[in-house]
Amino acid sequence: MPLIRTELADCIGWIAFDNYAKRNVLSAPLIAEVLAALDSFRKESVRAVIVRSAVQEKVWSAGHDVEELPKADLDPLPYDDPLEQLLRAVKDFPAPVIAMVQGSVCGGACDLVMACDMVFGDETCSFAITPAKIGLPYNLAGFLNFMSRLPLAVVKEMFFTAEP
């Protein structure tokens, strides 16, 4: 069963997370499907890609699949981690990648949103860096990604409080 839905219409590629039973967690299988969709859209020379949730629920994405995180004492998100590969693919995509956010965005999904060229959110959207709540360090690349996109005070509040 696919974890995402894709559509190509009027030179716009659409990627919709469709695994709400698991809160659209960014698991390796879901990320593999998104990477394949981006590759397909690249070949079609789309003018933009929109990333969204397939249903209007309370959660856009719960973030990185914690069951797939490396063991303690290792880099929390090494270079070859599927999420890191996705972030690089989004940043390197030749057309704008737009996050269309409804509901909450947690942990690694915040990284994905920050990697996008533009972000549009409705009144229900909220963002939380939640690894601190479960005692996990945040990876340096992700932290620097936030530092380059948001004011320092906002970054500190997000990382220190883990609150939306």
Q: Is 90 helix (H, G, I), strand (E, B) or coil?
A: helix
Catalytic residue among 63, 64, 103, 107: 64
Choose, from 13, 103, 138, 142, the residue flagged as catalytic.
138
Residue 64: active-site member = yes
- Spell out where 10-113 has E strands: 12-17, 48-53, 59-61, 97-101, 104-106
Q: How many CB atoms lie within 10 A of CB 43?
A: 8
Run of H or E including 148: helix 140-149
20 tagged catalytic: no
Q: Is 79 a catalytic residue?
A: no
Q: What is the DSSP letter of 11?
A: T
Question: What span, in angstroms and rounded, lies between the C-alpha atoms of 96 and 92?
Answer: 10
Catalytic residue among 63, 103, 107, 108: 108
The crossing angle, in degrees rounded to 10, of helices 152-161 and 140-149 is 140
How are strands ordered across the β-sheet holding 48-53? 4-9, 12-17, 48-53, 97-101, 118-121
Query: Collapsing DSSP states into helix, strand and coil, what is residue 84?
Result: helix
| Residues catalogued as catalytic | 64, 108, 138
